Amino acid sequence: MFKALLIDRKNDAHQVALTDVDESQLPEGDVIVRIQYSTVNYKDALAIAGKAGVVRSWPMVPGIDFAGEVTQSSHAGFKTGDAVVLNGWGVGEAHWGGLAQKARVSGDWLTPLPQALTPWQSMAIGTAGYTAMLCVLRLEQLGVTPQSGPVLVTGAAGGVGSIAIAILARLGYEVMASTGRPQEAAYLESLGAAYIIERAELSEPGRPLARQRWAAAIDSVGSHTLANVCAGTQYGGVVAACGLAQGMDFPATVAPFILRNVTLAGVDSVMRPQADRIQAWSRLATDLDLEKLALIGAREVTLADVPDLASDLLAGQIRGRIVVDVNS
């Protein structure tokens, strides 16, 4: 038996409970992982609250990522004792996820945890940091270097934005940070941001083309913000889009793309090929100053704390990362 946060729907009533589960109830997979740490992401909070249709089958253990140790494996790539991390693949939505003490998953979904990272650190980074690294890699693949010019990061005080700033600054980029929370300016500067842009400059309808201000951008906001980011990108620049905090619409014109040769590159983290995942986590181990995790803030909680914290997260009352010690 092991403990798990279980979501269920009975008689159209949404139920969330911390309960004991028998290992035989775990879904199919060729690797069993003893989970050490998980996190609470925005998608997890939606699932726990029964919103947005995140959960696709019941009962469900939420948690889109986790870190732990392999205890049983029939997969050629993993053996007992291996340290692993998992992000995405529909875990916590269609397959039982990380807010539990055990998981059984496909070994194809697991990524070896770099030796330079502890399981706790990997969950302080989480899917947000992994996504940020994928965005940085995409910029590099499309030719962006520190010599290209400033890089704008929107949603800068969020999980993706904060870690993107820390990575870019350590790699030598001049970082511009867009935020709707001016009180976070000192925090963003401590991560490495050189300039702070008020969110209102980008979040309202804008012109098809604006003054060229940045060579590249990482956007987790979408909607008018993404349109204005593209409009302000320099000739030949690149915008990596990975989120839709403002909305999934894109009220833009083709002007930045056909007049300034701007590239809009989508970045997915859920179904990413294994080679990309290994590269991203390897680079996180070397290119993220792990001392910055203390600045970003990682609050450690227990499984029993998660339901209340999910409500706080949806209400925008939590800053920083939530690391869940599933065994305490």
Tell me, yes or no, whether 113 and 135 share the same domain.
Answer: no
- Both tokens of 305, joined, read 């704390």
Q: What is the mean pLDDT of the chain?
A: 95
Per-residue pLDDT, 158: 87
Per-residue pLDDT, 321: 85
* Of 322, 271, 223, the residue nearest 86 (C-alpha): 271
Q: Does 71 score more than 90 pLDDT? A: yes
Q: Does 233 score more than 90 pLDDT? A: yes
3-state class of 276 per DSSP?
helix
Q: pLDDT per residue over 263-308, tens digit each?
A: 999 999 999 999 999 999 999 999 999 999 989 888 899 999 999 9
- Is this prediction's pTM over 0.85? yes
CATH number for 246: 3.40.50.720
- B/e letters for 217-250, b = 16+ CB within 10 Å, e = fewer, are bbbbbbbbbbbbbbbbbbeebbbbbbbbbbeeee
* 287 inside domain: no
Query: Mean per-residue pLDDT for 195-220?
Result: 97
Q: Domain span at residue 217?
A: 126-266
Q: 127: how many CB neighbours lie within 10 A of its CB?
A: 23
Tell me, yes or no, whether 113 and 138 share the same domain.
Answer: no
- Both tokens of 110, joined, read 């697991």
Per-residue pLDDT band for 162 (boundaries 50, 70, 90) equals: very high
* 271 inside domain: no
Per-residue pLDDT band for 319 (boundaries 50, 70, 90) equals: confident
* 79 inside domain: yes
Per-residue pLDDT, 13: 87
Domain count, the chain: 2
Query: Mean per-residue pLDDT for 250-260?
Result: 98
For residues 141 and 264, give the distance between their C-alpha atoms in angstroms, rounded to a whole number: 13
Tell me, yes or no, whether 44 and 107 share the same domain.
Answer: yes
Per-residue pLDDT band for 175 (boundaries 50, 70, 90) equals: very high
Query: Mean per-residue pLDDT for 147-154?
Result: 98
Q: Where are the beta strands (DSSP E) in 74-142?
A: 83-87, 102-105, 111-112
Q: Does 313 score more than 90 pLDDT? A: no
| DSSP 8-class letter at 254 | S
Tell me, yes or no, whether 135 and 19 share the same domain.
Answer: no
Tell me, yes or no, whether 136 and 255 share the same domain.
Answer: yes
Tell me, yes or no, whether 40 and 110 share the same domain.
Answer: yes
* 277 inside domain: no
Q: Does 52 score more than 80 pLDDT? A: no
* 16 inside domain: yes
* 209 inside domain: yes
Per-residue pLDDT, 219: 98
Q: Does 316 score more than 80 pLDDT? A: no
* Of 17, 22, 20, 16, the residue nearest 3 (C-alpha): 20
Q: What percent of the residues of the chain are helix, what percent strand, and what percent coil, each to the nearest 5?
A: 35, 30, 35
For residues 258 and 35, give the distance between their C-alpha atoms in angstroms, rounded to a whole number: 49
Tell me, yes or no, whether 206 and 76 share the same domain.
Answer: no
Interstrand relation of 233-241 and 263-266 (parallel, antiparallel or unpaired): parallel
Q: pLDDT per residue over 73-117, tens digit each?
A: 999 999 999 999 999 999 999 999 999 999 999 999 999 999 999
Beta bridge partners of 214: 233
Greater pLDDT, 297 or 18? 18
* CA 19 to chain CA centroid, nearest Å: 27
> What is the phi-psi region of residue 316: left when phi exceeds 0, alpha when psi lies from -120 to 50, beta otherwise?
left
Tell me, yes or no, whether 132 and 242 share the same domain.
Answer: yes
What percent of the chain clears pLDDT 90, i.e. is strictly above it? Answer: 86
